[in-house]
Amino acid sequence: MLTEQGILDQLSQAGYRITRPRRAVIAALLEDEGHHSPAEVHERALVRCPTVGLVTVYRTLELLADLGLARRIHTDDGCHGYAGASHGHHHHLLCRHCGAAVEFEGCDLSPLFEKIGRTTGYCVDEHLLELIGLCPACQ
């Protein structure tokens, strides 16, 4: 997983300002390995920066996701949360009971993409994979 300093360095290198509210959002996101709604990140970020607004949280999370520094997690109820991102391509296992999110690597979906391309004419160049079940603690 990327570290707080690693994310700050990448934001800076991409030309974004490193503000106290952004620092608070990043720290709140990385507090644990789970995924969190923007409202949860906002609650956590307020401890570090009492002036951080919910709009800033949403904008920062979207920016981080767009830059590949955080991952959007889609949940059963259609809402999404965010989790810190690791380097490289990966997917998530989500616990439907406690909400824990664990990353895993390795999938070769190339044969499926080729079949889809042949039958639909689409050229698949990106995908999201989330597996939902019960973590060992909730089983």
pLDDT one digit per residue (tens) for the chain, 139 residues: 678 999 999 999 999 999 999 999 999 999 877 778 899 999 999 999 999 999 999 999 999 988 888 888 776 666 678 878 765 556 778 888 887 777 777 777 888 889 999 999 998 877 777 788 898 999 9
**What DSSP line would sit under 105-125, residue for residue?**
-----HHHHHHHHHHH-----
| Helix (H/G/I), strand (E/B), else coil: 72 | strand
CATH number, domain of 108, equals 1.10.10.10
Domain contains 127 = yes
Structure confidence at residue 125 (pLDDT): 75
When divided into structural domains, the chain yields a total of: 1
Q: Is residue 41 in some structural domain?
A: yes
Domain membership flag for residue 85: yes
User: What's the pLDDT score for residue 90?
Assistant: 63
Rounded Cα distance, 15 and 32, in Å? 27
Helix (H, G, I), strand (E, B) or coil at 92: strand
User: Which residue do the tokens 């999201």 mark?
Assistant: 128
Per-residue model confidence (pLDDT) at position 18:
96
Contact 96, 76 (CB under 8 A): yes
Instruction: Sort strands 101-104 and 91-95 into parallel, antiparallel or unpaired.
Output: antiparallel
Note whether residue 115 is domain-resident.
Answer: yes
Tell me, yes or no, whether 57 lies in a domain.
yes
Instruction: Give the Cα-Cα-Cα angle 11, 71, 104 (nearest 5 degrees).
Output: 120
User: Would residue 112 count as lying in a domain?
Assistant: yes
Question: What's the pLDDT score for residue 72?
Answer: 83
Structural domain containing residue 72: 4-133
Look at residue 139 and tell me if it is in a domain: no
pTM for the model stands at 0.67
**Burial code of 84-123, b = ≥16 C-beta within 10 A, e = fewer?**
bbeeeeebbebbeeebbbebeeeeeeeeeeeeeeeeeeee
Residues 6+ apart with CB under 8 A from 101: 33, 34, 35, 73, 83, 92, 93, 94, 95
User: How high is the pLDDT of residue 89?
Assistant: 58
Question: Is residue 138 situated within a structural domain?
Answer: no
